[in-house]
Amino acid sequence: MIINLIVAVDNLFGIGSCNAMPWGNIKEDMKFFRETTINKVVIMGRNTYVSIGGEPLKNRTNIVLTTQDSFENEKVDDKTSLLYKNSLEDAFNYAEDIGETEVFIIGGEKVYRDTIETADTIYITHISNNYNCDIYFPQFDKTLFLKEEIKSFMYGDIDVDIDKYSRI
């Protein structure tokens, strides 16, 4: 299974504050996220699922990790589903069972920490500002990855760079 991580970070690698992303909606980044994950399996922690509004992302297989057993799976339409799994292993097995060869880990901190060591690719949107986050993307050894610049743009007066890190 190919493991992709996708994340937006501030200049201290902060990823969130009060269970939200403090920089608001960066349209260009949201477009990149959508284009990269569309029709794929996305895996997220339960806090992240709550933070995106408690609705599955359209045209994706949404897997939400939780230790609880009280949530109901849901098939929204032919291309959109919501599944709760109790472990990463169960999530990967499910993706494999439906014929997928890759998954996208979309947060949050806990799930990134649990997958960073085995990540094949990490897509990072670098937002060059400090947002006083209370939650962070884990440190990783960048020498193990090849960095490719995907796009750069301005968000107001803030530089934003989207980079792809591929494990060498």
Ligand X SMILES: NC(=O)c1ccc[n+]([C@@H]2O[C@H](COP(=O)([O-])OP(=O)(O)OC[C@H]3O[C@@H](n4cnc5c(N)ncnc54)[C@H](OP(=O)(O)O)[C@@H]3O)[C@@H](O)[C@H]2O)c1
Q: Residue 99 is which amino acid?
A: G
> Residue 61 or residue 127: which is nearer to ligand X going by CB?
127
> Residue 88 or residue 119: which is nearer to ligand X going by CB?
88
Report the alpha-carbon distance of residue 141 to residue 124 in Å, rounded.
14
Taking CA atoms, 8 is separated from 47, 78, 114, 145, in Å, by 16, 29, 17, 18
Report the nearest approach of ligand X to the CB of residue 47 (Å): 3
Q: Catalog residues that contact ligand X under the rule CB under 6 A.
A: 7-8, 15-16, 19-21, 44-48, 51, 65-68, 86-88, 106-111, 114, 135
> Residue 69 or residue 97: which is nearer to ligand X going by CB?
69
Report the alpha-carbon distance of residue 97 to residue 52 in Å, rounded.
26
Residue 18, helix vs strand vs coil: coil
Residue with smallest beta-carbon separation from ligand X: 108
> Residue 39 or residue 86: which is nearer to ligand X going by CB?
86
Report the nearest approach of ligand X to the CB of residue 61 (Å): 17
Report the nearest approach of ligand X to the CB of residue 2 (Å): 19
Report the alpha-carbon distance of residue 48 to residue 142 in Å, rounded.
25
Instruction: For residue 142, count other CB atoms closer than 10 A to its CB.
Output: 10
Report the nearest approach of ligand X to the CB of residue 55 (Å): 15
What DSSP designation does 117 have? G
Provide the Cα torsion 113, 114, 115, 117; round to 10°. Answer: 80
> Residue 67 or residue 143: which is nearer to ligand X going by CB?
67
Report the nearest approach of ligand X to the CB of residue 68 (Å): 5
